[in-house]
Structure 1
């Protein structure tokens, strides 16, 4: 599946504000260049028109010909700049060379050959682009009128250079203004998005258990609307969590008490029957089955409640606690059951306290389930050992037994709820013990690992981070 590109509101705003500005700046530069070129052409055209008129005045009819009154000083002035010299030609009839440079470009085809005002055109002369001003004049006598063409040309390089200078003089201030505007736009967007950043920090800094409404001061209406929507969602989540907590409390009260009472009544009836009729083994076995079912029901209810408390939605807080002391207490509490099952239960823990961040009730439930599973599936005469060791910045808890173990193919599935493996224990479990242990381990930033015990059996390994002393 292709990775979706992350969208940034800041990037989109900058793009939609600065990209049109760049396009407008380029368009303005293009228009400025063309306008400058047009103005320079207009100035050059006027100069060339005056030059062509002045040159035409120097050509005077003389008899059947022309007299050219063109002093060398005037010619030197026209030709003094080799890079921007003025080219000229006088022809009569048109295109019949009289004076100037014969290489002068001819007027465009279709130009009417009649006396009148000057006209202008672009052409190439000696490999260069030139601007030409030309005009037709009537000369000669009334009996023999003649048409004369006067042409004056100048290189267009000066026009382009002047247009570029104008563009630079106009473009650099525009570019500076665009950069300044970009900085102001960026600062404005950053300022406008600051309420969103503040809202994000308020949400990120909260724990999963803090469902109080978010307070945002001096925020725009859009951010206030978003905050109101988030607060409405937090209110719904808070109501759901409160409802779950009430369910757990009600379930604990409504289920534990009747089942415990039923078990007590069953034990009383069984005692009375044994005293009154000691030869009623069948009734005694039935009552024993009832007692076993009730005990399993109580255990199932307790494990379901423990699983509900272990889920993140339960909203339990983690506090510093001495994990080594907790392990000693839970192991001690499991000794009577291990003795009844003829299991050698031992504890090997490094001396001193081991502080972790955790929930005492959940960690107690985790240890109790691990010991219960180990005792339940270890045959009589077996061993169960609890190891508590420091491992670098953390600690490692290992509950090791020499029972039948769990096949590697089933070790992932045993963490599923209500899944019961193929191994047979002394009792009949509910398939929730390891699921509860794994859920509690995840609440504490860890996970349970199942490995083989050397010599046979199963080892459950848990890693926890230590708090600094």
Structure 2
């Protein structure tokens, strides 16, 4: 700093972090401390702080923030889930119908197989019956009887009666067949009870010789029965042998359907990622058209509609930005003239009433000029303007020293103790971005603290190295921001006090700039009353 700066005061360390007090102790009495190691107040334009604000919702060109009002997941039905239901549900229904049909077919084939075996057994048994002079003789070996009764769970029962209903041999518990059948024609029927049975009845003509030498004719009934459990077991075996391969086929088809749906919807996922990338890409210069070369025609039509919407949004944003920028530029000159004229009028009048009115006009002109400057700063921080400036290394140590030195006179005039704490040494603290915009952001934070902390307050600009880069804090022990505004403190046109001089744009500008530079900003807790804004910026690699 020049001789005037050196005569303004002295430098003294502020305790704490091994850093040194490289800034300016601005107190109401004793003047201002001398800038450490010859800091020079820069000629950068003053950035007016506008009232407190908060975490605003996502804007075009900015990523959606945590806790924002935008939900990335719709509440409507999932197309993939609907397609899976539409394709898999009919398959499952058809599989159930096929399984039931297979079971019925298996039961029928089992019945046919058992009926054939019962009929064969009945005919074999009938061949063992021979008429004699004294009656009928059944020649059934004991070994054959043992074979028929070998399985207690699946016994084969038989009965021979002549005439029908008069038991000659076998089981007496076998029920008679319903109705009257034709001779030599088998009749199959089921009998219920504790153990259901499948029975065949075969009525055969019988000729036997009487004692007087005459021949007598009649009917002989042969019945053979078997438990229905064997039929059900056979049906289940057939069903399992059929259903298991069918189930495997359905599972493979379901996997194929799922994979096909995912592959078919992949262009939609790519389109979603491209659209989301338009807002997630920090510093995007414009909402570029989306191109999906390998996508189906239907997705190309959707991408074309999205591109038309993006083009309209881009045009609207550009028009809005040009309007704000042009209006702000047009207003600067008449506002500067109004300020000059009111200052001259105040110097040339002694009328108290007129002076009061002129002072009010002058204050209004100052507020309007501050609003215009901040609108211009906001226009510079917009995505298109920010992307137009290539990122460059910015030395935060130099930037903060110059900025704090610039703010010494204003802090003195407000009765505020302003200081800078930085890491020890003279190493450069580099980040990539726009030095002009970063200076604007920090100036807004300092202006916010000096303006609202009040006379006698202490404002500290603190620079430390964090885990994710550089951590910059602007800390004051003033009245702080009301708890109700903590969630809205970075919103546009939100002020911490209705009686404040700001317009509610300062912190919105800060957030816009910081996020354009790849950083983040928020309110941090501090011991006691006051306010602490914490800003993080990525370190240059």
Find the counterpart in structure 1 of residue 51 from structure 2: none
Q: Is contact 1:324–1:353 with CA below 8 Å preserved after alignment?
A: yes
Q: Alignment partner for residue 184 of structure 1, among 249, 252, 256?
A: 256
Find the counterpart in structure 2 of residue 346 from structure 1: 419
**TM-score (normalised: structure 1):** 0.78
Distance 1:18 1:97 in 2: 60
CA-to-aligned-CA distance 1:244-297 (integer Å, 9 cap, x gap): 2111221122211221133334455667xx4xxx86776666545433332222
Q: Alignment partner for residue 149 of structure 1, among 206, 221, 232?
A: 221
Q: Alignment partner for residue 324 of structure 1, among 397, 403, 406?
A: 397
Q: Is contact 2:481–2:531 with CA below 8 Å preserved after alignment?
A: no
User: Is the partner of 2:261 in helix, strand or coil?
Assistant: helix
Q: Which runs of 5+ in 2 are unaligned?
A: 1-72, 209-213
Find the counterpart in structure 2 of residue 389 from structure 1: 464
Find the counterpart in structure 2 of residue 299 from structure 1: 370
1:406/1:102 Cα in 2 relative to 1: closer, same or farther (>3 Å)?
Answer: closer
Find the counterpart in structure 1 of residue 202 from structure 2: 135
229-238 vs 439-448, which deviates more?
A: 439-448
Once the two structures are superposed, the pairs formed by residues 240-251 of structure 1 within 5 Å of their partners are 240-251=316-327
156-165 vs 298-307, which deviates more?
A: 156-165
CA shift, 1:442, in A, is: 6.4
Highest relative contact order (Cα 8 Å, sep 6+), 1 or 2? 2
Q: Alignment partner for residue 263 of structure 1, among 339, 348, 352?
A: 339
User: Is the partner of 2:191 in helix, strand or coil?
Assistant: strand
CA shift, 1:22, in A, is: 3.2
User: Is the partner of 1:347 in helix, strand or coil?
Assistant: strand
Find the counterpart in structure 1 of residue 191 from structure 2: 123
Q: Alignment partner for residue 97 of structure 2, among 8, 13, 27?
A: 27
Q: How many residues align?
A: 448
CA RMSD, 1 decimal: 4.1
Q: Is contact 2:163–2:219 with CA below 8 Å preserved after alignment?
A: yes
Distance 1:14 1:270 in 2: 79
CA shift, 1:239, in A, is: 1.7
Once the two structures are superposed, the pairs formed by residues 32-431 of structure 1 within 5 Å of their partners are 32-53=102-123, 55-56=125-126, 59=129, 66-68=135-137, 70-72=138-140, 76-77=143-144, 80-81=147-148, 82-83=150-151, 86-99=156-169, 101-108=170-177, 110-112=178-180, 115=183, 117-123=185-191, 128-139=195-206, 146-206=218-278, 207=281, 209=284, 210-267=286-343, 274=348, 287-307=358-378, 316-317=386-387, 319=391, 321-340=394-413, 345-350=418-423, 351-356=426-431, 359-377=434-452, 384-400=459-475, 405-406=479-480, 412=486, 417=493, 419=495, 421=497, 428-430=501-503
Q: Is contact 1:446–1:463 with CA below 8 Å preserved after alignment?
A: yes
CA-to-aligned-CA distance 1:169-198 (integer Å, 9 cap, x gap): 433433343333233323322322222232
Distance 1:387 1:55 in 2: 110
CA shift, 1:211, in A, is: 0.8
Distance 2:116 2:531 in 1: 103
**TM-score (normalised: structure 2):** 0.69
Q: Is contact 2:118–2:225 with CA below 8 Å preserved after alignment?
A: yes
1:44/1:390 Cα in 2 relative to 1: closer, same or farther (>3 Å)?
Answer: closer
CA-to-aligned-CA distance 1:200-257 (integer Å, 9 cap, x gap): 3333444263411100112123222321232222122212211221112211222112
User: Is the partner of 2:97 in helix, strand or coil?
Assistant: helix
1:10 and 2:80 correspond: yes
Distance 1:163 1:187 in 2: 36
Distance 1:79 1:410 in 2: 96
